Amino acid sequence: MTLEHPPGTPRPVRLDAGRFALWVFLATEVMFFTALIASYLVLRAGAVARDGMPWPRAQEVHVDPLIGLINTFVLIASSGCAMVACKLLASGSSRGATTAVGLSFVLGCVFLGVKGYEYRSKYNHGLLPGQIGELHPSGTQARARYDQAAGQVFLDTVKARLEPEIRPLMKPSTNSKVASESQPSLIPDLDPAHALCLELLKELDQRKLGPGAIAEKVYAIQAANEADRSHSHIHLPAVAPHGNLWASCYFLITGCHALHLIIGLVFLLGILMNGLLGRLNSASLPYLSNVSLYWHFVDLVWLVVFPLIYLV
Amino acid sequence: MSAPVSHHTDDHAPSGFLSRYVFSKDHKVIGIQFFFSSILFLLLGGALALLVRLQVGYPEQALGLLTYCFPFLQSRIPAEWGGRMSPEFYTMLFTMHASVMIFFVIIPWLTGAFGNFLIPLMIGARDMAFPTLNMLSYWFMWPAFICICASFFVDGGASGVGWTAYPTLSSAATANGDWASPAARHAGAGHVLWLISLMFVGVSSLMGSINYITTVIHCRAPGMSLWRMPLTVWALLITAILQSVALPPLTVALIMQLLDKTAGTTFFLPPGGVGFGNWTTGPGGGQPLLWQHLFWFYSHPAVYIMILPAMGMVSDIMVAFCRKPLFGYKPMVFSMAAIAGLGFIVWGHHMFQSGMDPRLGTGFMLATIMIALPSAIKTFNWLATIWGGDIVFSSAMLNALAFVSMFIIGGLSGIFMAATPVDVVFHDTYFIVAHIHYVLFLSSLFGIYAATYYWYPKMFGRCMSENLGQLHFAPTFILANCTFYPMHILGIGGHPRRYYDPTLYEFLLPFQSLNRFMTVSAVLLGLVQILFIVNVFGSLFWGKKASRNPWNSNGLEWDTPSPPPHGNFDVTPLVLRGPYEYAVTGPSSDHLTQTQTEGQQS
Amino acid sequence: MTTQQIDLSEWTFWLPIAFTIFGIGLFILSRFWTRAWFATFTLTIAGVTALTVASPFVGWWLPAQGSSFSGEVDNLFLLIMFLTGLFFLLTEGLILFVLWNHAPKPGTAPLPIHGDHRLELIWTVVPGILLALIAVIQMPTWARMKGQGNESWLSARYESGGDKADLLLTVQGRQWEWRVRYRDPSAPPLARPLEWATHPEASDLHAVNEVHAYPGAKVRLLLRTQDVIHSFFVPELRLKQDMLPGRTVPTWFIPTVPAGTSNETRWEIACAELCGGNHYRMRGHLVIHPDKASFETWYSTAAREQSRRSRPPETGPLARKTN
């Protein structure tokens, strides 16, 4: 503070108030992410322990650890640039600092862009909370309830996905709406995936199987697809054990992290603008180093989130 | 927040009306803004409480009584209620009563109003460390105010799932993403607003807390070492630390419930979802119990957030009115720190019957029993402080004495609930209602009253009326006991809380007369509070002009004019001692303020 | 208008008014008499003490004891009541003493005492010991109530192993009724009773809002809920347990009735966790038959009745809210 202390009365704390407050703020942020991650671990452990179904594997939920790893390095590099910017500004090079901040900003945007790409692929695969097919072990109460009610939405999705692709392959006798000229009796070179889907659509039409059983079939088809990547891909709705909980946690944690990232980017952009306008000087150093400290924190959070979401 | 702090630019008071009274960065104005908002919400929360009491006391006649007293309501009562309040409406009443009182009255009044007003004055600072952040912390309350008030008018009405908002009652949503809840009428859009509102309160409190901690650490006047700070500042510092650690997990929980409610996530929904007759939720997969853990991880410390500042203030008020030093200053500080620390590992005692592993219950029980010890130490220190004192029976002192004597009841009744087997009986009965009201009404609110009487001269430059204050105190003290003490008896008899009509149960019939007694007492208690409101607003205009130090107290805040000007102090004070030098032998004065040199004493 | 039904002459109405006037009177008195505030505090403290002491004599007290552990819980309650009561009287007494004396003797001034280590040590150690006593003494009761004590008929970890219960039943809560399902007592014991909670058998007996048992029966309750959290509460049993969506929460009790009871004992079951608008209407009954034989008679009659109807009842007597 600006109060003058008489000689002999040492100032209580060496950190300046802004830096101190930032540390306090980061402590609250640590609590925030601790609560998030702890909830994730509790939910995940609880789900796996409850019915013995494993947590979704990365490929089941279209998570690519390689993309995540690249993103991790992008963020570390961004964080490094922020650090370099501080060093450069401290040594008096405001142009260098501006470049470093710009680089840091761009890398942050790259991270966000990749994140957006990942979200898009989740969206395309229908990996959204509440819409994923659940694999409850048969005989459980959860399965019964899923079959009775909660899974009906999933059934409709399966049907909607299969209709345009598979319905035309059916015999005209089973579906009179489709023009008969496009209907060979049964395509001899129908690949196994399409054959399975055809089977599935028939079962759906007969309405004998509940959502739980259909989800199991879809899951099996996808597993077969995965094993044999040679044949054409059919867009089936996503099915994964604990899929909805997985999606809930995935979007919550990465979303909260992305939000923090965006806030950091706004601050970086402000500094970048100042730099481009030539207003970056040694007086801006405390501000830059505070923003950079926050940026390191966002990076650090990702270093915890990445292995938990992508690898474990 | 990272901008360098300087008050040189702020030294001149802003001149425009808006920048001076509305978007003010002056901690005193912000404190007063919090003060008046809290009073307004106290009226709302009080009115809701009276409606709750009316229904429980007179389940058949409540609505009739209401329309008899307020005939204009007649046309606004929905026809389908059929002459009685609807049970769903009743759930809304107690939910909103608790939410309003906790998040919009007690916490903002203690930490927002007094925290803001007192911290810089008491440590000899010109303002908070971050005046703009401080202003924001008040203006972030406004979205919360608007959301919570708007929630009364949306379709389905305000939240009615209890202030604890346990899933799946609160979070259940139909698969189509409709906000209307399959579980309860009052768990729809109103509850979504409730969740958003609480998030804003949380952000506001977090901003405040970071500011308080930084201010206390950085902005103390020369000579104001930590061990010379008044207990009020200690209490507010510890409270700020509590808030900054406990609030983020609540925010996480609120976000999770909001997403469950609106976006189809499944954090608090069990596998397979849950079904309500014709309605059903989407697929689940989560754990309803997780909400309780996250919620109580905040809300138990929140209990201390609501009592610690009052404890600090009451300590400072009592020494000024018994003209004796505080007994055991450091033990008091350490007790508060212990309460705060232990406060983080006792949340499970709200969940003994929740289906949590009973062995965890034992652990939480041990921690809970331990937390009784620092509370006991504080009580004994207060007793020793007033022992042999020269007591001045001012309004502030009377309320402070009521705080101590009632906190004893609230603290001791807590031990029953800490004992796990006994809690099996008392959990979710009126015994717990009695306990929280002894802590929050008869302790925190009496503490707030005491602090208001005590610091009002400093806030507004005029004293509150002593006659009116004491006239308010006597019936309030008696009636509050009439209203809340019999709840213990009800709880012992097993009376569950949140019951719309207890007369349905044979085992509760003998207790109904007590219920009526409490209701009549509560109505009278509510009426008596008008005296306080009149006193607060009337004294603004007609109160006796206050001198710098009307109570002959020692704290730094009494070194400034009443009310203090922008920038607080004429010269930066040099602190020479702690604030508790009373009962010193001097020629004409019995106390030494924190800045007085020995020779100055005259 | 139903306001006429309110009896204005009842003590519940005039007593609070009298107290208010009394309070105002004390305020007026305080203008002339320095000990009026002492009187205010004394009378209030005395009032709450008197209410506590008098309550048991006018029937405002713990419900009857109805389970094997209710006596234990009550004794614990009374012990805590005694200890906290002592502290209450001690501390409030000290406050009242200070208020009575309110000023030092003429010619003397308050003493500038900042603390006393010996005194502080005493009031830390003595409550500490008492609190430790309270903590330790309740642990066996808690363990027993939660099925982790020495009840040999309950498995130590209730998730696994076989129960040797006399009565095994599921109570499923839903808005707003208790749906009860008994396992045929003559059927062979189950290795994993928890699975039975979610897998009904044809021989199960279904009932709504009524739990039947007989004195001394080892009753194993498996609590479930269909929709929101409910809490199964029978005050006489000193039993309260939440039902969690998606989980089976086991609990138990052994009902006891006073010796020589020859009629059915009916206790009320209440829901103790807010479960929506009609939370207060979630009322059931626990029926304790006078002996095992009469319980068995009831059971076989009910089972016959059910097989005649061939379907479990769909809804209970309570009207369900329609959305």
pLDDT tens digit sequence for A21-33: 999 999 999 999 9
Give the pLDDT confidence score for residue A81 in this predicted structure.
96
Task: Tell me which amino acid residue A311 is.
Answer: L
Q: B118 near B557, Cβ under 8 Å?
A: yes
Reported as a pLDDT band with limits 50, 70 and 90, residue C318 is: very low
Q: Is residue C115 part of a domain?
A: no
Predicted pLDDT of residue A189: 63
Residue B596 has pLDDT above 70, yes or no: yes
pLDDT band for position A233 (cuts 50, 70, 90): low
| A236 part of a folded domain | no
- More confident position, C12 or C148: C12
Could you tell me if B485 and B428 are in contact, meaning their C-beta atoms sit under 8 angstroms apart? Answer: no
| pLDDT of amino acid A4 | 47
CB contacts < 8 Å between B and C, how many?
Answer: 394
> Looking at the predicted structure, is the pLDDT value of residue B289 above 70?
yes
3-state secondary structure of C263: coil
Q: How far is B433 from chain A (nearest CA, A)?
A: 29
Cβ within 8 Å of residue A303, ≥6 positions away: A72, A76
Interval A298-312: pLDDT, tens? 999 999 999 999 988
Q: Categorize the per-residue pLDDT at C322 as very low, low, confident or very high, splitting at 50, 70 and 90.
A: very low
Is the model's pLDDT at B380 over the cut of 60? Answer: yes
> What does the block give as tokens for C59?
């029937």
Q: What is the pLDDT of residues C241-280, one digit of tens each?
A: 999 998 899 899 999 998 888 899 999 999 999 999 999 9
d(CA A118, CA A67): 9
Question: Given this model, what pLDDT does residue C156 score?
Answer: 46
pLDDT classification of C320: cutoffs 50, 70, 90: very low
For residue C89, pLDDT over 60 is answered with: yes
Residue B10 has pLDDT above 50, yes or no: no
Which of B239, B251, B266, B292 should be substituted to probe chain A, the one whose Cβ sees the most A Cβ atoms within 10 Å? B266
**Neighboring chain B residues of C120 at a CB cutoff of 8 Å:** 328, 331, 377, 380-381
Query: Is the Cβ of C198 closer than 8 Å to some Cβ of chain A?
Result: yes
Q: How far is A290 from chain B (nearest CA, A)?
A: 6
- Residue B333 pLDDT class (50, 70, 90 cuts): very high
Give the mean model confidence (pLDDT) for residues B176-202: 91
- Taking the Cβ of residue C23 and every Cβ of chain B, the question of whether any pair is shorter than 8 Å is answered with yes
Phi, psi torsion values for C208, nearest 5 degrees: -125, 130
- For an interface test with B, which of A39, A40, A155, A285 has the most B Cβ atoms less than 10 Å from its Cβ? A39
C205-208 and C230-234: which strand pairing?
Answer: unpaired
User: Cβ neighbours of residue B527 under 8 Å, at least 6 residues apart?
Assistant: none
Has residue A69 been placed in a domain? yes
Tell me if chain C has a CB within 8 Å of the CB of A91: no
Across the range B167-187, mean pLDDT stands at 86
Write phi, then psi, for B549 (nearest 5 degrees). -130, 75
Terminal-to-terminal C-alpha distance of chain A? 47
Is there a contact between B275 and A149 (Cβ–Cβ < 8 Å)? yes
The beta-strand segments (E) located in chain C are 167-174, 177-182, 205-208, 210-213, 219-225, 230-234, 239-243, 249-253, 265-271, 284-288
* A2 within a domain of the structure (yes/no): no
Q: Give domain status of residue B4, yes or no.
A: no
pLDDT at site A149: 81
Residue A13 pLDDT > 80, yes or no?
A: no
Asked if residue B224 belongs to a domain, the reply is: yes
The average pLDDT across C143-154 equals: 76
Say whether residue A140 is in contact with chain C using an 8 A CB cutoff.
yes
- Residue B281 has what DSSP assignment? B
Across B448-475, average pLDDT: 96
Query: Are B185 and B160 a contacting pair, CB within 8 Å?
Result: yes
Query: Residue C90: pLDDT above 80?
Result: yes
* Whether C169 contacts C224, CB under 8 Å: no
If one counts every other C-beta atom within 10 angstroms of the C-beta of residue B586, the result is: 12
Structural domain range at position B232 = 27-273+283-600
E-only strand ranges, C106-209: 167-174, 177-182, 205-208
Q: Is residue B129 one of the residues assigned to a domain?
A: yes
pLDDT of residue A176: 47
Number of domain units in chain C = 1
For residue C199, list chain A residues with Cβ-Cβ distance below 8 A: 139
Is B428 in contact with C320 (Cβ distance < 8 A)?
A: no
What's the maximum distance between 2 C-alpha atoms anywhere in chain C?
Answer: 94
With bands split at pLDDT 50, 70 and 90, how would you rate the model's confidence at C7?
A: confident
Task: Supply the range of the domain harboring residue A169.
Answer: 141-175+185-227
Residues of B in contact with A3 (CB under 8 A): 124-126, 219, 221-222, 572
Where does the pLDDT of residue C204 fall: very low under 50, low under 70, confident under 90, or very high at 90 and above? very high
Provide the pLDDT for residue A177: 47
My answer on whether A57 and A83 are in the same domain is yes
Contacts of B124 in chain A (CB under 8 A): 3
Mean pLDDT for all residues in chain B = 92
pLDDT band at B4 (very low <50, low <70, confident <90, very high): very low
pLDDT for res A200: 85
**CB within 8 Å of chain B, chain A residues 117-176:** 128-132, 134, 136, 140-146, 148-154
Highest mean pLDDT among A149-153, A183-187, B433-437, C306-310: B433-437
Put simply, whether A150 touches C (Cβ < 8 Å) is no
Task: For C224, name the nearest residue in chain A, comparing CA atoms only.
Answer: A141
Which range, of B182-186, C13-17, C266-270, averages the lowest pLDDT? B182-186
Is the predicted pLDDT of residue B52 greater than 90, yes or no?
A: yes
Q: Give the whole-number percent of chain B exceeding pLDDT 70.
A: 97
**What are the distances in angstroms from CA B116 to CA A171, B26, B559, C219, C268?**
77, 9, 18, 58, 51
What does the pLDDT read at residue A7? 46
Q: Which two tokens stand for residue B437?
A: 């009201």
Lowest-confidence segment of A137-151, A289-303, C85-99 by average pLDDT: A137-151
ipTM greater than 0.90:
yes
C128 vs A238: CA distance, rounded Å = 58
CB contact under 8 A, C276 and B331: no
Query: Is a pLDDT exceeding 90 seen at residue A222?
Result: no
> For position B21, what pLDDT does the model report?
80
Half-sphere exposure of B472 (CA within 13 A, CB side): 24
How far, in Å, CA of A299 to CA of A79, rounded?
Answer: 7
> Which amino acid, residue A34?
T
- The percent of residues above 90 in pLDDT, for chain A, comes to 49
Of the candidates B251, B264, B270, the beta carbon closest to that of A129 is on B264
Mean pLDDT of A246-261: 96
Q: How far is A206 from chain B (nearest CA, A)?
A: 23
Residue B192 reports pLDDT greater than 50: yes
The 10s digit of each residue's pLDDT in B110-140 is 999 999 999 999 999 999 999 999 999 999 9
Check if the beta carbon of residue C34 is closer than 8 Å to that of residue C102: yes
pLDDT band at B7 (very low <50, low <70, confident <90, very high): very low
Q: What is the mean pLDDT of residues B370-375?
A: 94
- pLDDT score recorded for residue A196: 81
Structure tokens belonging to residue C70: 């209710």
At C179 the three-state DSSP class reads strand
Q: Which residues of A touch C198 (CB under 8 A)?
A: 140-141
Question: Domain range spanning residue C142?
Answer: 61-100+132-313
Element (H, E) at B262: helix B231-262
**A170 in a structural domain:** yes
Assign 3-class secondary structure to C185-252. CCCCCCCCHHHHCCCCCCCCEEEECEEEECCCCCEEEEEEECCCCEEEEEHHHCEEEEECCCCCEEEE
> In the structure, what pLDDT confidence band is assigned to residue C155 with cuts at 50, 70 and 90?
low
Question: Nearest CB to B4: which of A18, A31, A142?
Answer: A18
C9 in a domain, yes or no? no
- Regarding whether A116 and A55 lie in a shared domain, the answer is yes
Q: What angle do CA B51, B52, B54 make, to 5 degrees?
A: 60
Rounding to the nearest 10 degrees, give the CA dihedral for residues B2, B6, B9, B15.
80
Residue B1 to chain C, least CA–CA distance (Å): 40
**Does the residue B12 lie in any domain?**
no
Q: Which pLDDT does position B599 carry in this prediction?
A: 62
Question: CA B247 to CA B301: how far, in whole Å?
Answer: 9
**Averaged pLDDT for residues C174-203:** 88
C window 286-305, beta carbon within 8 A of B: none
> Which chain B residues are Cβ-neighbours of A242 within 8 angstroms?
285
Q: Partners for B (CB, 8 Å, 3+ pairs)?
A: A, C
Q: Is residue C323 a part of any domain in this protein?
A: no
Would you place residue B3 in the very low, low, confident or very high pLDDT band (cuts 50, 70, 90)? very low
Asked whether residue A58 carries a pLDDT value surpassing 50, the answer given is yes
How many domains does chain B contain in total?
Answer: 1
Q: What CATH number is attached to the domain comprising B381?
A: 1.20.210.10
